[in-house]
């Protein structure tokens, strides 16, 4: 005697697909972080500071702790990355869901972090910027930089472009007064180093 097989409920299937679609961007972001960490490790970057500690905050950019712990003044420049990526990706992909635009932003940021920690870029930083003793980020620092970018991306969505622009400008001014550096100045010195600025940055 034939036994009828239960027919899967279309509603149940739709719910499963909906949950999977909701989880997929988060899984993709997690995969990005794992891949970025492994690529940086393959380049010789250390997981944590050689001091053996993981500090929540390291505020002296001229010390050996810079870019070695979880957060430092340059973390704010990565938040600004998120601001910029949000504007660019909304313009480029207006119909793409927010979570996938966030994934794209973090993909760009992760790619930059891996490139920034290559031997050639580390040497470039040491040669033309205030980071004379720079030896590369630790992996924990790099991962928090990527997360900071994601925070900036989320904030830009919440704040709107006017408030985001104001915060961008204020952050740059505060960083200039605080550490004599910032996102715009850092990019300028990488592309077109100016000796007078480098000298000014070195006086502390």
The Cα angle at residue 102 between residues 159 and 90, in degrees rounded to 5 = 60
Q: What is the residue-level pLDDT of the chain in tens, covering all 204 positions?
A: 555 555 555 665 666 567 767 789 999 999 999 999 999 999 999 999 999 999 999 988 888 888 999 999 999 999 999 999 999 999 999 999 999 999 999 999 999 999 999 999 988 888 887 776 778 899 999 999 999 999 999 999 999 999 999 999 999 999 999 999 999 999 999 998 898 988 888 876
3-state SS class at 42: helix
Alpha-carbon distances, residue 146 vs 111, 142, 151, 178 (angstroms): 10, 6, 9, 22
15 inside domain: no
101 inside domain: yes
Q: Which residues constitute the domain of residue 85?
A: 73-204
168: left (phi over 0), alpha (psi -120 to 50) or beta: alpha
31 inside domain: no
157 inside domain: yes
In angstroms, the CA 146 to CA 143 distance is: 5
Q: Where are the beta strands (DSSP E) in 28-171?
A: none
In angstroms, the CA 195 to CA 187 distance is: 15
129 inside domain: yes
34 inside domain: no
Helix (H) or strand (E) holding 181, with range, is none
107 inside domain: yes
Alpha-carbon distances, residue 8 vs 1, 12, 13, 16 (angstroms): 22, 7, 7, 12
Supply 40's token pair: 């940086």
Per the structure, the count of domains in the chain is 1
């Amino acid at each position: 005697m034939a036994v009828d097989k239960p027919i899967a409920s279309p509603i149940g299937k739709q719910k499963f697909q909906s949950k999977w679609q909701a989880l997929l961007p988060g899984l993709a972001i997690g995969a990005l972080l794992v891949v970025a960490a492994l690529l940086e490790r393959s380049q010789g970057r250390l997981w944590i500071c050689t001091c053996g500690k993981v500090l929540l905050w390291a505020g002296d950019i001229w010390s050996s702790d810079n870019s070695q712990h979880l957060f430092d003044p340059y973390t704010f420049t990565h938040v600004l990355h998120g601001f910029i990526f949000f504007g660019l990706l909304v313009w480029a992909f207006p119909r793409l869901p927010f979570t996938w635009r966030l994934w794209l932003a973090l993909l760009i940021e992760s790619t930059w972090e891996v490139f920034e920690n290559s031997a050639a870029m580390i040497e470039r930083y040491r040669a033309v910027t205030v980071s004379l003793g720079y030896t590369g980020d630790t992996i924990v620092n790099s991962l928090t930089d990527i997360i900071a970018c994601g925070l900036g991306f989320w904030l830009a969505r919440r704040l709107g472009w006017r408030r985001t622009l104001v915060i961008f400008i204020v952050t740059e001014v505060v960083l200039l007064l605080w550490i004599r550096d910032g996102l715009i100045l850092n990019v300028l010195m990488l592309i077109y180093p100016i000796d007078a600025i480098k000298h000014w940055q070195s006086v502390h």
